[in-house]
C-alpha cells in the first residue's frame, strides 16, 4: 500500500504565539478598556487590529481577543463591568420592598422630559443590540429613544415606529448607526422607505451617521472583503463593522446628533426645575421617614 505524504502550505499552518506575545495582547486589552469602558469584545478586537496587535482575521484575531478577555475577567485582572453585551436581555418590572424605597428611588432618579415642548422629535437607530449596548449610554443621558433594527426589521416593528412618529406631530429627525457591508448599506434605506410609507404625512429627516464610505477613507478603518450574498451583487469595496470606530468617537457622533436639536436656554430652565422638584421629593421622603405623612400620602 502506498502512503501519500501531504505537505501543509505555510499559509495554512497555525503559528503558536509566544508567552511574551500573549502578554502583549492582554496588556493592550487592559489599556484599551482602562481608557474607555464598557466596550464590546468586537470593539476591543477592532482597536487591537488598528494598533497592529492582532490580525483582522476572525480565527486568528477575534477569537484570540475573545478568549483572552474571558480569561482576564475570570482571573480578576479585568473588571467584568468593563465589558458589555447588549445582545442578551433580562426583563423585569420595577418593584419595591416598601413605600420608603419607592420614594427614595424617585427622589434620586427623577428627571424632567426635556423634549416635552421641543419643536422636533429625535430618535437614534442602530443595526444591532451589541452596538445599542454602547450608545445607550449617550441616548439615556439625553432621554432620547434608541431603536434597534436587528438587521432587517420586521414590517410590524416598522409600522409601530411609524405610528409613534406620526403621533408626535412634529418634524422627526432619525439618525442611523450600522455596519458598512452589502446588508448594512440597504438596511437603513429600507427603514426610511417603510417609515415614510406608513407615516406619509409626517415630516421625516433620516440620516446615516456611521459607518460611511467617507469615514472608512478618512479614518483608515480596516476593511474585509464582502461575503457573497444576494445583496453583494451591487456592492463595491471592502466592508467595515461599526465596532471599528473608537467608542469615544462613536459616542461623540451620537451626542452631536442629539445636541444639534437642544435649546441651551430651555435645557437650563428644565434642569433648574428638575433640581427644585427633586429637592421636593427629598422633602417628601424625609417627612415620610419622620412619620409626618399619613397613610394616604397627605399631611398628618
Please tell me the distance from the alpha carbon of residue 242 to that of residue 239, in angstroms, as a whole number. 10
Q: What is the mean pLDDT of residues 81-90?
A: 80
Q: Convert the pLDDT of each residue in 44-69 to its tens digit.
A: 998 898 888 988 776 778 899 999 99
pLDDT at 2 over 80: no
SS (H, E, C) the chain: CCCCCCCCCHHHCCCCCCHHHHHHHHHHHHHHHHHCCCECHHHHHHHHHHCCCCCCCHHHHHHHHHHHHHHHHHHCCCCHHHECCCCCCCCCCCCCCCHHHHHHHHHHHCCCCCCCCCCCEEEEEECCHHHHHHHHHHHHHHCCCEEECCCCCCHHHHHHHHHHHHHHCCCEEEEEECCECHHHHHHHHHHHHHHHHHCCCCCEEEEEEECCHHHHHHCCCCCECCCCCCCCCCCCCCEECHHHCCHHHHHHHHHHHHHCCCCHHHHHHHHHHHHHHHHHHHHHHHHHHHCCECCCCCEC
Q: Convert the pLDDT of each residue in 138-196 to its tens digit.
A: 999 999 999 999 889 999 999 999 999 999 999 999 999 999 999 999 999 999 999 99
Please tell me the distance from the alpha carbon of residue 246 to that of residue 219, in angstroms, as a whole number. 10
Segment of 16-25, 80-89, 115-124 carrying the highest mean pLDDT: 115-124
pLDDT at 13 over 70: no
Q: Output the average pLDDT for the chain.
A: 88
pLDDT at 95 over 60: yes
Q: What is the mean pLDDT of residues 16-44?
A: 91
Domain extents in the chain: 17-82, 113-259, 266-300
Kindly report which listed range (2-6, 152-156, 218-222, 257-261) carries the lowest average pLDDT score.
Answer: 2-6
What's the pLDDT score for residue 93? Answer: 87
Residues 40 and 33 sit within 8 Å (Cβ to Cβ): no
pLDDT at 86 over 80: no
pTM of the prediction? 0.79
What's the pLDDT score for residue 172? Answer: 98
Q: Who has greater pLDDT, 179 or 230?
A: 179
15 — pLDDT class (breaks 50, 70, 90): low
16 — pLDDT class (breaks 50, 70, 90): confident
Going by C-alpha positions, the residue among 254, 124, 142 that lies closest to residue 188 is 124
Residue 185: count of CB within 10 angstroms of its CB: 20
88 — pLDDT class (breaks 50, 70, 90): confident
Contacts of 49 (CB under 8 A, 6+ apart): 55, 56, 61, 222, 244
Q: Which fold has domain 113-259?
A: Dna Topoisomerase Vi A Subunit; Chain: A, domain 2 (3.40.1360)
Please tell me the distance from the alpha carbon of residue 64 to that of residue 256, in angstroms, as a whole number. 34
Q: Residue 293: phi, psi to the nearest 5?
A: -115, 135
Q: Residue 37: phi, psi to the nearest 5?
A: -150, 155
Please tell me the distance from the alpha carbon of residue 160 to that of residue 199, in angstroms, as a whole number. 10
What's the pLDDT score for residue 5? Answer: 45
227 — pLDDT class (breaks 50, 70, 90): confident
Q: How far is CA 21 from the centre of its chain?
A: 31
What's the pLDDT score for residue 294? Answer: 59
Q: Convert the pLDDT of each residue in 207-224 to its tens digit.
A: 999 999 999 999 999 888
Amino acid at each position: 500500500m502506498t502512503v501519500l505524504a501531504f505537505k501543509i502550505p505555510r499559509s495554512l499552518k497555525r503559528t503558536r504565539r509566544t508567552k511574551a506575545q500573549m502578554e502583549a495582547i492582554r496588556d493592550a486589552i487592559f489599556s484599551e478598556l482602562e481608557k474607555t469602558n464598557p466596550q464590546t469584545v468586537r470593539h476591543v478586537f477592532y482597536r487591537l487590529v488598528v494598533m497592529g496587535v492582532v490580525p483582522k482575521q476572525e480565527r486568528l484575531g477575534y477569537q484570540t481577543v475573545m478568549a483572552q478577555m474571558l480569561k482576564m475577567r475570570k482571573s480578576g485582572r479585568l473588571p467584568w463591568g468593563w465589558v458589555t453585551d447588549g445582545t442578551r436581555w433580562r426583563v423585569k418590572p420595577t418593584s419595591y420592598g416598601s413605600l420608603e424605597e419607592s420614594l427614595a428611588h424617585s427622589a434620586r432618579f427623577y428627571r424632567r422630559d426635556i423634549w416635552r415642548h421641543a419643536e422636533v422629535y429625535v430618535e437614534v437607530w442602530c443595526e444591532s443590540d451589541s452596538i445599542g449596548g454602547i450608545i445607550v449610554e449617550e441616548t439615556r443621558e439625553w432621554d432620547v429613544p434608541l431603536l434597534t433594527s436587528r438587521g432587517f426589521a420586521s414590517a410590524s416593528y416598522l409600522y409601530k415606529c411609524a405610528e409613534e412618529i406620526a403621533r408626535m406631530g412634529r418634524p422627526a429627525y432619525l439618525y442611523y448607526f450600522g455596519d458598512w457591508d452589502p446588508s448594512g448599506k440597504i438596511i437603513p434605506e429600507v427603514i426610511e422607505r417603510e417609515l415614510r410609507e406608513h407615516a406619509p404625512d409626517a415630516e421625516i429627516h433620516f440620516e446615516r451617521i456611521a459607518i460611511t464610505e467617507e469615514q472608512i477613507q478618512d479614518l483608515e478603518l480596516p476593511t474585509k472583503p464582502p461575503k457573497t450574498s444576494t445583496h453583494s451583487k451591487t456592492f463595491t469595496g471592502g466592508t467595515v463593522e461599526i465596532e471599528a470606530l473608537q467608542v469615544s468617537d462613536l459616542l461623540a457622533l451620537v451626542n452631536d446628533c442629539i445636541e444639534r436639536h437642544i435649546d441651551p436656554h430651555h435645557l437650563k430652565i428644565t434642569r433648574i426645575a428638575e433640581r427644585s422638584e427633586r429637592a421636593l421629593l427629598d422633602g417628601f421622603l424625609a417627612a415620610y421617614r419622620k412619620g409626618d405623612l399619613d397613610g394616604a400620602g397627605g399631611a398628618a
